[in-house]
Chain A
Amino acid sequence: MMQHRLLPVAASLAVIFLGGAVPAQAEGGYKLLQPKSEWSFEGPLGTYDKAALRRGFQVYNEVCSTCHALVHLRYGDLDGLGYTADEIKAIAAQKQVTDGPNDQGEMYQRPARASDFFARPFPNEQAARYSNNGAVPADLSLVVKAREGGPDYVFSLLNGYKEPPAGVKLGAGMNYNAYFPGHQTAMPQPLADGAVTYADGTRADLEQMAQDVTTFLTWAAEPNLEARHRMGLQVIGFLILLTGVFYVLKRRIWSKVH
């Protein structure tokens, strides 16, 4: 009899959910860029485009990893990109990691294994600052979740390097970016057309690489997204059935009172 009283609550919650579909905004309030083809991972049925993930990993590995770490990832996690155990072994073996101490009490370098965390470009914060004009390159393993606008922000940032507008004075060693808060970033433009040669033959223009590496970084931040979406559909499907049963029972039991 009073179900209609719940409608406003349901409606406002629906608005909250749909709010996620509104074009994302950066901290400054300006509209962010979005790739021409939509993100494969968005929406309740979203999954990762495996080919894009592998291309994105290639971009990270060949370009970003010179300055940016992925501290929360192990090489073994790359099986989420569809690599086989042997391929992962080969990818890891290209990097050296410090292990030890050995029997003589000394630390030593050895090729990385699947169980190792991704090798970091700098041994410590001071070394990172020293090599980068005083700025510390951010760890990228959570960057997509740690910025207002998420993947759209990262994608926009990579596409946002431009000549500074007239009247804008850049600090020493700074670069103009239309989407970085404050528009001045210590990071020089990392990607330009043809920066990598894709193993799968895809044309490596700036937008393609930005989209691929953003997809990869989204996976790096949220590797369980596909399992979460799959389980979510099952859970909500079950709950709708269960709630339907409860509703029918409620009507039947209460019919004696009404």
Chain B
Amino acid sequence: MASAAKAKKGIIGWIDHRLPIFTFLDHELGSFPEPKNLNYWWNFGSLAGIILVVMIFSGIFLAMEYTPHKDLAFDSVERIMRDVNYGWLMRYIHMNGASMFFIVTYIHIFRGLYFGSYKAPRELLWMLGVVILLLMMMTAFMGYVLPWGQMSYWGATVITNLFSAIPVVGDQIVSWLWGGFTVDNPTLNRFFSLHYLLPFVIVAVVCLHLVALHLHGSNNPLGIDRKGPQDSIPFHPYYTIKDLFGIGVFLIIFAGFVFFAPNFLGDPANYQPANPLQTPPEIVPEWYFLPFYAILRSVPDILFIPAKLAGVIAMFGSILVLFVLPWLDTSPVRSGRFRPIFRWFFLLLMIDCLVLGWVGAHKPEGTFVLIGQAATAWYFIHFLVLLPLLGKFERPRPLPTSISSAVLTVRGLHPSIKPATAIKEKS
């Protein structure tokens, strides 16, 4: 790829002189310098971007055939499944794509948590990511309502009713959201409209996320800054091919779901048309919301705050706490590899989130209540108590002097074991 400084010739040069798209592409995608030691956990950002595009395209095709009316929505989805050419393919891609989007994004977030990607100077980059997560959750929730099955209807009822917990104006807010006195046709219509709008808002925030990313470049598994050009390699061809390989592996898994287990991640109840007169025995959200659902249902009455309001505050708080994470984590060391105590608590947090998901899938009865409460408490203790204290009391392992020295020294060895000692021997 030609360097950005060199003047381009021919038509490309003519265009580039007036609208520097080629220079831009080269600068941001071609010769863009990345740390040379990124591992495969760094693939999940580009994977999330790819799924966003897949979701937008499959969604546009579905919207051409879908009817957002309470009497027709369910049947129109079945017509897509049966009569529209490859409609079943588009629908199953879109349906399972939502799950893929969340699993990839969750891995992307946990990668950031472990390697300290939220620390200076990447705080805004991280916060924009949390905004994207919130937008994704809104989009997914409203999209799930559109087929107007039993779980669509009752899920929408439960979630919109959360806002009634707000003191004084709660009920007014809920009828304002519904556009009536219950989840009904106006609700379905506005959800469809917003479900079509929000993905493009996500695209816009993703662009900001990338602008922030490209200012200082990616963090890396060692969590140390690059000292010079010897620590960097150009994005193309090194990370383009690595990302392509990752996309290939991902698409195989995605296709496995779409073609061989398309309804595995869904709830059978959503193949029953919505019936406002019949509540399903259990109202459960899709798997990617289960941890949050568990937090919502775990919180008891706290002093003068009723359990419902406290649950809503805790649920939103579990995401909002991520916004201030860069300031809660007081350790100057980014990567968990050099934080001997933090890495255990990180593992515990991952287990805690899985436990919350497991609890969220069950009725809040018996031991599930206690486990849910303990897991919810631990989630907040991790962020609000442990992270601020760890930075003060933990003794991090010595950091390698530079990326290239670490990479050269420990080649062939497990990178998390040797770097510090290996470098000491050398110096």
Contacts and interface: CB of A to CB of B under 8 A. Distances in A.
Contacts of A146: 268-269, 271-272
Contacts of A145: 263, 268, 271
Nearest to A247: B245
Given A20-B261, A239-B248, A247-B245, 6 more contacts: A72-B75, A145-B263, A148-B268, A228-B262, A246-B244, A249-B245
A94 interface: no
Interface of A: 1-3, 5-6, 9-10, 13, 16-17, 19-20, 27, 44, 71-72, 77, 141-142, 145-148, 150, 181, 221, 223-224, 228-229, 231-233, 235-236, 239-240, 242-243, 246-247, 249-250, 253-254, 257-258
B268 A243 contact: no
A232 B255 contact: yes
Contacts of A236: 252, 255-256, 259
8 contacts: A17-B256, A72-B82, A146-B268, A146-B269, A150-B268, A229-B259, A233-B259, A243-B251
A186 to B, nearest CB: 14
Contact of A250 (B82, B107, B242, B261): B242
B249 A142 contact: no
B200 interface: no
Contacts of A229: 259-260
B264 A20 contact: yes
A239 B258 CA distance: 14
B40 A5 contact: yes
B101 to A, nearest CB: 15
Which 3 residue pairs across A and B have the least CB separation, nearest first?
A232-B259, A243-B248, A146-B271
A240 B268 contact: no
A243 B252 contact: yes
A232 B251 CA distance: 12
Query: Taking each of B78, B81, B248, which has the highest tally of chain A beta carbons within 10 Å of its own beta carbon?
Result: B248
Interface string B225-259: 00000000100011001101100110111011011
Contacts, number: 106
Contacts of A10: 253
B245 to A, nearest CB: 4
B92 to A, nearest CB: 8
A6 B41 CA distance: 8
B89 interface: yes
Q: Is the interface of A mostly helix, strand, loop or mixed?
A: helix
B36 interface: yes
Interface string B258-281: 111111100011011000000001
A141 B82 CA distance: 12
Nearest to A235: B255
Contacts of B36: 257
A246 B75 contact: no
Contact of B264 (A6, A16, A147, A258): A16
Given A9-B107, A250-B241, A44 B260 contact: yes
Given A5-B39, A146-B269, A146-B272, A224 B81 contact: yes
Contacts of B262: 228
Q: How large is the interface on B (under 10, 10 to 19, 20 to 34, 35 or more residues)?
A: 35 or more
Interface in B400-421: 411-412, 415
Contacts of B237: 253
B88 A228 contact: yes
A165 B312 CA distance: 45
A182 to B, nearest CB: 10
B281 A181 contact: yes
A9 B40 CA distance: 12
Nearest to A227: B88
B260 A231 contact: no
Contacts of B258: 232
A6 B40 contact: yes
B241 A224 contact: no
A242 B248 contact: yes
Contact of A239 (B41, B81, B252): B252
Contacts of B272: 142, 146
A88 B79 CA distance: 21
Contacts of B253: 10, 13
Contact of B255 (A1, A9, A239): A239
A27 B255 contact: no
B358 to A, nearest CB: 14
A229 B92 CA distance: 13
Nearest to B245: A246
A2 B82 contact: no
Nearest to A3: B40
Contact of A243 (B88, B242, B249, B256): B249
B80 to A, nearest CB: 11
Contacts of A17: 256, 260-261, 264
Given A27-B281, A147-B268, A236-B252, A250 B78 contact: no
Contacts of A249: 241, 244-245
Given A150-B268, A181-B281, A228-B88, A246 B259 contact: no
Contacts of B256: 13, 17, 232, 236
A150 B268 CA distance: 8
Contacts of B263: 145
Residue from A27, A223, A224, A240 with most neighbouring chain B CB atoms (10 Å): A224
Nearest to A258: B411
Contacts of B412: 1
B245 A243 contact: yes
A231 B89 contact: yes
A16 B100 CA distance: 13
Contact of B78 (A1, A72, A233, A253): A72
Contact of A240 (B82, B107, B233, B252): B252
A187 B269 CA distance: 20
Interface string B194-212: 0000000000000000000
